[in-house]
Amino acid sequence: MLIKNSIDEVHKRENAFKQIKKILNTQGRESIYDLTGLSGGFLATTEDLNLLETYIGPAIFEEKLQTEGKKHLGGEKVFAVNRTSSGILATILAIVPENGEVQHFLKEKPGHPSIPRSCKLLNAKYTEYTDINNFNINENTNLLVITGSNMDHETIDEDTFKKLITLAHTKNIPVLVDDASGARIRTAIYKQKKATELGADLVVTSTDKLMKGPRGGLMAGQEDLIDKVKSKATQFGLEAQPPSILAILKGLEDYNPENLRESLNKKEELFETLNKKYDCFKQTPTGVMVKEEDLYKTLNCKNEDLSPKDLNFLWALILLKQEGIITIPAVGMPAASATVRFDLAAPDSKNLSNKQLLEKIDSTLKSVKEVMDNSIEAKKIILE
């Protein structure tokens, strides 16, 4: 294994940022294609920014956030947090007792690492489930988490969603929906209802996934539960700060589900061509992806120093260095998914035709194949 732990992943991420800066300085912004589907956007006017310098700004933005946030997520009250992970942590700390229990249902494992990690702090029992026919809510469970769309955008269907919520509620167990990207994928692409409309007590979404907001989280749900989470969050500094709240509000105002739907045709055409040539590509709601095991098989990698994850990291760094394409395995936080995903709903996708993207995919896969048997060179590409 080349990338052995989160420290290595931090170094890989630092390297990716160094490469992005290098391309920016030598070739300019137009040579970089951010296809992560994470925008890190900060839409704000000078007037907004001037207001931020006083407490008048936060007072106004917070009130508007209630209106826009409820439009987006439903529920009785919303609350902005520093990240989706912060909202998950605050909820678990607020609802689950020490040695308690959390059950988590999702389309495909694994769940976001912030969920088991939060449980661990409380020494709470934590189990993940993917099969509705083999799922039962335990008497002792304190919280049911449902992931709407997982890190690879695999999405649960609405019937399963409803069944799970009914199961939990017949035993008075609260439901938190991790709808990081699901709040938009489920509703805009699959026409599902909002999590709160389906009966969820709490929902959290990521404000930079498939919308132009900053890295941040937005929670919504029942007022008493939101107040409980809010009180816990502020004790540990997990709440969003005024500059983020402003940018979250602007991102919500800018959000238009049509933009997501427009990526669908482009995706289908791209997938069809790729699928004829390679057997490792899968469709996502708004793009295509290659999972680590699938690339390993397709390239027939026999180098035992390289794990399937390493091979995806290698491809991600080659995509970046050689073609200026940013994907999550290059810049993601430690323990983020190593799936290489090309998100055609990402704003930069407009600057790249399918033909151009295909050429870039072909040439980088060729480079991966050339270098994958050379562990020293591969490690250098990922970390230097």
Ligand X SMILES: *Cc1c(COP(=O)(O)O)cnc(C)c1O
List residues binding ligand X (CB under 6 A): 83-85, 112, 114, 147, 150-151, 178, 180-181, 206, 215, 217, 333
Q: Report, in Å, the least distance between residue 92 CB and ligand X.
A: 13
Residue holding tokens 């407009």? 350
51 three-state secondary structure? helix
Whichever of 174 and 332 has its CB closer to ligand X, that residue is: 332
Whichever of 274 and 344 has its CB closer to ligand X, that residue is: 344
Whichever of 115 and 137 has its CB closer to ligand X, that residue is: 115
Torsion-angle region of residue 191: left (phi > 0), alpha (psi -120 to 50) or beta? left
Q: Report, in Å, the least distance between residue 240 CB and ligand X.
A: 11
DSSP state string for 144-176: EEEESB-TT--B--HHHHHHHHHHHHHTT--EE
Q: Report, in Å, the least distance between residue 303 CB and ligand X.
A: 30
Q: Report, in Å, the least distance between residue 233 CB and ligand X.
A: 13
Q: In this structure, are residues 239 and 58 in contact, taking their beta carbons and an 8 Å threshold?
A: no
139 three-state secondary structure? coil
Whichever of 292 and 323 has its CB closer to ligand X, that residue is: 292
Q: Report, in Å, the least distance between residue 356 CB and ligand X.
A: 28
List the one residue out of 44, 83, 82 whose CA is nearest residue 64. 44
List the one residue out of 217, 160, 220 whose CA is nearest residue 186. 160
Amino acid letter, 129: Y
CB-based burial label for 264 (10 Å; 0-12, 13-18, 19+): middle
Whichever of 84 and 312 has its CB closer to ligand X, that residue is: 84
Whichever of 151 and 220 has its CB closer to ligand X, that residue is: 151
How far, in Å, are 90, 305, 370 from residue 69 at the CA level? 19, 47, 49
E strand intervals along 70-138: 77-81, 101-105, 125-129
* Angstrom distance (rounded) from CA 141 to CA 144: 7
Whichever of 60 and 333 has its CB closer to ligand X, that residue is: 333
Q: Report, in Å, the least distance between residue 123 CB and ligand X.
A: 22
Whichever of 126 and 324 has its CB closer to ligand X, that residue is: 126
Q: In this structure, are residues 108 and 131 in contact, taking their beta carbons and an 8 Å threshold?
A: no
List the one residue out of 211, 189, 186 whose CA is nearest residue 198. 186
Whichever of 141 and 147 has its CB closer to ligand X, that residue is: 147
Q: Report, in Å, the least distance between residue 215 CB and ligand X.
A: 6
Q: Report, in Å, the least distance between residue 83 CB and ligand X.
A: 3
Q: Report, in Å, the least distance between residue 239 CB and ligand X.
A: 14
Cis peptide before 116 (omega within 30 of 0): no
